[in-house]
Amino acid sequence: MSVTQVPGACPLDCPDGCSWQVTVQDGEAVALRGTPDHPYTRGTLCVKVNQFLEHTRAPDRLLHPLRRIGRKGEGRFERISWDSALGQIARRLTETIERHGGEAIWPYQGTGTLGFLQGLQGRAGSRLWNVLGASRHDMTICSIAGLAGLQYTLGTSTGIDPENLVYSRLILLWGSNPLTTHHHLWKVIQRARRDGAHVVVIDPIRSRTAAQADEHIAPLPGTDAALALGLTHAVLQEGAEDHEYLDTYTVGWEAFRKRVLEFTPRRTAQETGVTEEEIIRLGRRIASSRPTAIRVSQGIQRHAGGGTALRALACLPAVTGDWRRPGGGLLYSTDGYFGGNREALYRDDLLSRPVRSLSMTRLAEGLLETDDPPVEALIVYGANPLASSPDQNRIRQGLAREDLFTVVMDHFQTDTADYADIVLPATMQPEHLDVHDGYGHLYITWNEPAIAPPGECLSTTETFRRLAWAMELTEPALYASDEELASELLDSRHPSLAGITVDTLRDRGWARLSYPKGHVPFANGFPTPSGKLEFLSETAQADGFDAVAGYVPATETHDTQLAQSFPFVLLSVANHFFLNTIFGNKQALRRRAGPPYVVLHPKDAAASGIASGDRVQVANRRGAFEALARIDDVVRPGVAMTTKGHWPKLTDGSGPNATVDERDADMGGGAVFHDNRVRITLLPPRGDDSSEDYG
Ligand SMILES: Nc1nc2c(c(=O)[nH]1)N[C@H]1C(S)=C(S)[C@@H](COP(=O)(O)OP(=O)(O)OC[C@H]3O[C@@H](n4cnc5c(=O)[nH]c(N)nc54)[C@H](O)[C@@H]3O)O[C@H]1N2
Ligand SMILES: Nc1nc2c(c(=O)[nH]1)N[C@H]1C(S)=C(S)[C@@H](COP(=O)(O)OP(=O)(O)OC[C@H]3O[C@@H](n4cnc5c(=O)[nH]c(N)nc54)[C@H](O)[C@@H]3O)O[C@H]1N2
Ligand code: SF4
Ligand SMILES: [Mo]
């Protein structure tokens, strides 16, 4: 009997980027655990991923290529061989290129795995798409508005090391719910708390995390920039601004100060729905707590003013000078710490001429309204847009186009896969090679294949190598092996990789990037054009934004006219038991998640005659979905809460994204999932008990 421990990484789109170990016995994976000696993973995974091995063996897993034999969306398929599948895809892509040029192909990559080889971070497939001249896929679905906003203030979207939070005296979890979405950070926060740190959650919802914090402030959705300016106002009232820091490390202070002075407690309270007392009290606390850390994650920027919000939030630690202290500053993403050679993977030099970009969150528009050329071939991998992208009903229409050729590479027959012409079975993390960083820590991870893929599953890299071969493409870069790709990625002189080689990484499974503990970014200035933190950004102005950081209200949330017909602002947040739509088909986790629900404040419920457990319809002009009502004061009056993650076809055929608009946020073309007004009405009780699945 042979037993080995194979090092790996959780592939999911989660800031914690856990390091894991697969115990393999006689070729079979028998146990999975978080790596015990990894300083961030600390031996634990999470409620979603603990049973990942069962997920790899799920009875509904796709094991063979399939060809559609029913109508689009109907879900009837027959098994075909890889040769036949790749032959058909090669022929269709070649014809498409001949007819319309490469831009008629849309490679639609999602967040299913973040791996540098198989997934998003390395833009898997990029080399092939560049050779074919396919449209560029613009990854707008998750974090881009915030990234763009930070870029103006800081010159980068990279923030502080989360492990530095142990040095913080005050921690603001601003639109961030780590107990659900990245719980390893909570351990760091708990250590800071034991040393006396005070933790405040700023979230319209009393989330799991808010319930565990020292304090909870509930602003109206989309008003965070106003709140940040109002808190800065209170800091100035205390005379707590750091003049030396402002003089040395920032530009545009006078202009920004003028703006801040407009955000009196009174105006801020009107704008945000937070009381003047709360604003002044928290402002004073910030003024007197050195250092203060702000952890802000992605939820907060899914509004019309999302980019502007991050831009304003990053200014606060400059006013107090906290950016220079370990444990002070702001953390949105740590992605920029890893200095691997991403360009070597992308190989954008293989593109023979510039191509257009198509936005991930505008799939319906792309399929229904784009011409010159129209999208004729859609290759979906690591994505489930019919469930996850905005404007579900129009996406369904687009996917149903008879002249559209759709390929879906996935692990399961998702709602999106039901519309595919060809479905290709993909490997899961224990079955392929990959390299990961984390967007919530400073470690990188090696994922060694632990077991053989089941059935005929192929990795993304291998699928694209074989497709290139079927298309008779001669570019050698298309045939690089996984090991070669990993070496090219890590072959970098960037200081973050000092002392890290493929061999050392492969051997141990993980490495801390080469930054000292307590590392303070921007100690010697900021990577902006001025070299300083920019309250006033000429780049922003040149891009058509206000030169000075400020506040942009949400669109639907603040529309009082619209509120007459659609009285609720709907937030569709992370589900504790799913990771986006991954695990939405997993019985054990569905049971724990329960059926789709929508939470209403008791006052709203009373006014609408809705009681807990009632079946309701959540609707606006774009679409509707069904949910069970929960009445709870975790939400503010006028705000309703549901979660992302349920599969439409396993519920009522619909979901929150049926109500979400395709509109862009202010920056980067980000999605506005939470800037969404709906009405909620009682449905007649159903005869059958359709929630029995959920136990
Ligand atoms: N269990 C689980 N974990 C996940 C995911 C999942 O689906 N499930 N998804 C992963 C992904 S893809 C991502 S991007 C991250 C997201 O991680 P988070 O950003 O932490 O998660 P969200 O639930 O999207 O949003 C966090 C909080 O922001 C609040 N929020 C919404 N609008 C506003 C606002 O205008 N102002 C303020 N102050 N708060 C607001 C929401 O009420 C919510 O509680 O999590 C990752 N982790
Ligand atoms: N209403 C609402 N909608 C949201 C959000 C929200 O807050 N509210 N959040 C948004 C956010 S933050 C994100 S990141 C997006 C996510 O949206 P998507 O990127 O579309 O993510 P998922 O829906 O989870 O679909 C991922 C798919 O990839 C598959 N997959 C996983 N690993 C692999 C692999 O190795 N190879 C292949 N071929 N496939 C794989 C999974 O089985 C799954 O079907 O959703 C967004 N949608
Ligand atoms: S989903 Fe996040 S917390 Fe869970 S195992 Fe993966 S990286 Fe870790
Ligand atoms: Mo995301």
| CB of 14 shorter than 6 A to ligand 3 | yes
In this structure, what is the dihedral angle of CA atoms 62, 643, 160, 221, given to the nearest 10 degrees? 150
User: Of 332, 352, 368, which one is at a domain's C-terminal end?
Assistant: 332
User: What's the number of CA atoms in the CB half-sphere (13 Å) around residue 369?
Assistant: 9
What atom in ligand 1 is closest to the CA of residue 46?
1
User: Of 332, 367, 395, which one is at a domain's C-terminal end?
Assistant: 332
Residue 538 lies in a domain: no
* pLDDT < 50 stretches in the chain: 689, 692, 695
What atom in ligand 3 is closest to the CA of residue 16?
7
CA distance linking residue 462 with residue 125, whole number of Å: 10
Query: Measuring from atom 4 of ligand 1, which residue has the nearest CA?
Result: 181
Taking the centre of ligand 3 as the mean of its atom positions, its distance from the CA of residue 48, in whole angstroms, is 8
CA distance linking residue 178 with residue 641, whole number of Å: 17
Q: Pick from 46, 172, 296, 300 the residue to mutate for probing ligand 1's pocket: most ligand atoms within 8 Å of its CB.
A: 300
Do 114 and 241 lie in one domain? The reply is: no
What atom in ligand 3 is closest to the CA of residue 14?
2
Number of domains making up the chain: 4
Contact 570, 677 (CB under 8 A): yes
Return all residues near 190 (Cβ < 8 A) that are at least 6 apart.
none
The CATH number that applies at residue 292 is 3.40.228.10
CA distance linking residue 62 with residue 409, whole number of Å: 10
User: Of 332, 356, 385, which one is at a domain's C-terminal end?
Assistant: 332
Do 223 and 365 lie in one domain? The reply is: no
Do 271 and 405 lie in one domain? The reply is: no
Return the closest-CA partner of residue 269 out of 261, 257, 277, 258.
277
Residue 554 lies in a domain: no
| CB of 46 shorter than 6 A to ligand 3 | yes
The CATH number that applies at residue 416 is 3.40.50.740
Do 36 and 126 lie in one domain? The reply is: no
Peptide bond into 476 cis (omega under 30): no
Residue 660 lies in a domain: yes
Tokens 């080689």 belong to 501
Q: What is the CA radius of gyration of the chain?
A: 25
Contact 581, 575 (CB under 8 A): no
What atom in ligand 3 is closest to the CA of residue 52?
5
Do 79 and 171 lie in one domain? The reply is: no
Concatenate the DSSP letters of all residues of 642-689 into one string: EES---GGGTTS--GGGT------SSTT---TTS-EEEEEE-PPPSS-
Do 375 and 487 lie in one domain? The reply is: yes
- Report field, pTM of the whole predicted structure over 0.85: yes
Do 205 and 295 lie in one domain? The reply is: yes
Taking the centre of ligand 1 as the mean of its atom positions, its distance from the CA of residue 80, in whole angstroms, is 40
The CATH number that applies at residue 10 is 2.20.25.90
Query: What is the three-class DSSP state of 343?
Result: helix
Residue 130, φ and ψ in degrees, nearest 5: -65, -45
Residue 527 lies in a domain: no
Residue 337 lies in a domain: no
- According to DSSP, residue 14 is labeled -
**CA max distance for the chain:** 73
Do 77 and 179 lie in one domain? The reply is: no
Do 74 and 173 lie in one domain? The reply is: no
Helices 144-154, 306-313: inter-axial angle, 10-degree rounding:
40
Do 501 and 385 lie in one domain? The reply is: yes
HEC letters along 438-507 = CCCCCEEEEECCCCCCCCCCECHHHHHHHHHHHCCCCCHHHHCCHHHHHHHHHCCCCHHHCCCCHHHHHH
What atom in ligand 3 is closest to the CA of residue 184?
3
Taking the centre of ligand 3 as the mean of its atom positions, its distance from the CA of residue 41, in whole angstroms, is 9
Residue 130 lies in a domain: yes
Ligand nearest to the Cα of 304, by number: 1
Q: Pick from 22, 182, 429 the residue to mutate for probing ligand 3's pocket: most ligand atoms within 8 Å of its CB.
A: 182
Question: Which residues have C-beta atoms less than 6 Å from ligand 2?
Answer: 13, 110-113, 118, 141-142, 298, 381-385, 387-388, 409-412, 414, 426, 460, 572, 580-582, 644, 656-657, 660, 673
Please report the pLDDT score of residue 440 as a whole number.
98
Contact 688, 652 (CB under 8 A): no
| CB of 579 shorter than 6 A to ligand 3 | yes
CA distance linking residue 387 with residue 309, whole number of Å: 27
Taking the centre of ligand 1 as the mean of its atom positions, its distance from the CA of residue 281, in whole angstroms, is 26
CA distance linking residue 23 with residue 5, whole number of Å: 5
Residue 431 lies in a domain: yes
Q: List the alpha helices (DSSP H) in 195-305.
A: 208-212, 224-237, 243-249, 253-262, 265-272, 276-288
Range of the domain at 248: 145-332
Do 162 and 125 lie in one domain? The reply is: no
Residue 532 lies in a domain: no
Please report the pLDDT score of residue 694 as a whole number.
58
Contact 676, 573 (CB under 8 A): no
Q: Pick from 38, 48, 179, 575 the residue to mutate for probing ligand 3's pocket: most ligand atoms within 8 Å of its CB.
A: 48
Return all residues near 516 (Cβ < 8 A) that are at least 6 apart.
none
Query: Measuring from atom 12 of ligand 2, which residue has the nearest CA?
Result: 142
Do 156 and 99 lie in one domain? The reply is: no
Taking the centre of ligand 3 as the mean of its atom positions, its distance from the CA of residue 23, in whole angstroms, is 18
